[in-house]
Structure 1
Amino acid sequence: MDAPFLGFPDTQAFLRELRANNERAWFRAHKADYERVFKAPAEALVAELRPRLEALAGVPLGGKLFRIHRDVRFSKDKSPYNTHLHLGFQHQRAGGEPRRRGGFYFGLEPETLTLGVGAFDFGPADLERYRKAVSDDSWGGELAELVASLGARQHDADLKRVPAPYPADHPRAELLKRKGLNVWRDIDDPALVASPDLVDAVVAHFAALDAVNVWLTDVLEG
């Protein structure tokens, strides 16, 4: 039987120490801490979240713990380790079945927890469908109202200007300047992060935010 998720009581402290000592010698000396306070509880959380998110989404999902090792090949920052814990859940489709768009993303940082849904970096065909939907008063108006109602934030727009052929003063200009669609909620509650109750809280937030994934699926797969 898989170990139950008991919370992340020591993980943020570990991440703060790693941020202050981001070097291989320190990490090797604290490998046991990494296994105990980072990897083991993260894997337990994936095991508990995945079936509940599958029930929410209505499709099979893959659950992934992202590597703590950074890919530094093309980066000026040669720090070898990520100082966050990231999980992702996305539709694992089989054969030619319809694809459920968007995913669920969990990001534990040294000081806060961030929960998000959506998709990043649309391909050309998806980007064209997305922009056409955003420009439509019905589809675009629905999305604008939805995003405003969620009490969530978005990353800065990808483009400085509204892309052609849409007017610069379009009422949904900020949405048109995006190359992906995602929304995020920040949770600053160390006691919750350290508790087994975090599972229920995460599922509740994802259930509220999942309307963005539903909109994406309707637009890109409809």
Structure 2
Amino acid sequence: MNAHLYLRASTKDQDANRAKAALEAFAADKGLSIIGVYAENISGTKLNRPELMRLLNSASAGEILLCESVDRLSRLSQADWETLKAAIKAKGLRLVIADLPTTHMLIDDKGITGQIMEVISNMLLDLMATMARLDQEKRVERINQGLANKRTAEGWTPPGKAKNAAKWDKITKLLIAHPTMSADHVAKLAGCGVATVSRVKRDQKA
């Protein structure tokens, strides 16, 4: 039976092909013929992925879409996950997940037993897809919380917002020469925002 390998890594990972050897070994063990390998570095929260779309366009009914794990295929929202499942079903593909043994039964037709296992597999796929999505949401929440904590930390400067030494020097000289001048007036003379003037003032007091 023909199989298409789908390999995905997040944009922060080094190589989407990391699991290729393991999936090739899995395919060989199951007697599958690999006729396509689709690898990409892209977030699993995106439905429109170039290589995944290319796989769905190229594959034929009865062939296998083989992935390492559910989260390599999906960290999608519930609606997008339903859309992807519908697309896979419409193509007549068999979704096999290497680390989800119940899906291995889909490689061969097993009559009523195979039908029962397909129902169980679909339930587990939905559960694991939900867990992958929740894990992603929790990860984003932790990142946002970390950024929020940094923003409240005294003296923190956001990435890409390093102080302009020349402008800070100009503001400093204006503040020294005109100690009673309003921050708004200083900002206009220095060509910056009032927030920058306030940061310079805090820096002087430190």
Which category describes the TM-score, using the shorter chain as reference length? Answer: under 0.3
TM-score (norm 2): 0.25
TM-score (norm 1): 0.23
Larger radius of gyration: 2
More helix by share: 2
* Larger RCO: 1 or 2 (CA < 8 Å, sep 6+): 1
